[in-house]
């Protein structure tokens, strides 16, 4: 389990379509908090693809897990105007998603159940290979 205080340094980091989108945050969290190196394909279209790259390569990079088996560090793929990815953390008895939001302009920590209120709908939960 990750200490929630460790997440504070990520909250508010600015969204940058060219250098730090939602997929970049997911990869960074795996490396810094879980010691896992995830290599995203270098040819991904940064401005439009974001989590679409994860969706396209999900069988190579991750496997789907049922909601009752999720754990800290798993990711949730969400759908809005474009695919989106966030990392799951269990904090104070509730699942939360740390994600870098293009529409909100920075990294946010939201309760999993609050995602529909900001226009994000869960497509599935995944664990990195």
Contact 51, 23 (CB under 8 A): yes
* Rounded-to-integer distance, Cα 98 and Cα 77, Å: 12
Across the chain, which has 129 residues, the per-10-residue mean pLDDT values are: 93 93 93 92 58 64 93 93 90 96 95 95 93
Write down the pLDDT at residue 47: 53
CATH of residue 93: 3.90.1720.10
Read off the DSSP letter of residue 6.
G
pLDDT digits (tens, 9 = 90+) for 32-60: 999 999 987 665 555 555 555 666 666 67
Domain region containing 108: 4-128
Shortest CA distance to 116 belongs to which of 97, 91, 100? 97
User: Number of structural domains, the chain?
Assistant: 1
């Amino acid at each position: 389990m990750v200490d929630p205080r460790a997440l504070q340094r990520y909250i508010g980091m600015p969204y940058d379509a060219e250098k730090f989108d939602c997929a970049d945050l997911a990869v960074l969290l795996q490396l810094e908090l879980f010691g896992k190196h995830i290599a995203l394909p270098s040819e991904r279209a940064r401005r439009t693809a974001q989590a679409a790259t994860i969706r396209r390569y999900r069988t190579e990079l991750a496997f789907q897990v049922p909601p009752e088996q999720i754990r800290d560090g798993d990711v949730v793929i969400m759908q809005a105007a474009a695919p989106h990815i966030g990392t799951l953390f269990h904090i104070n008895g509730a699942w939360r998603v740390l994600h870098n939001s293009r529409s909100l302009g920075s990294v946010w920590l939201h309760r999993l159940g609050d995602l529909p209120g900001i226009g994000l709908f869960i497509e599935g939960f995944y664990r990195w290979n």
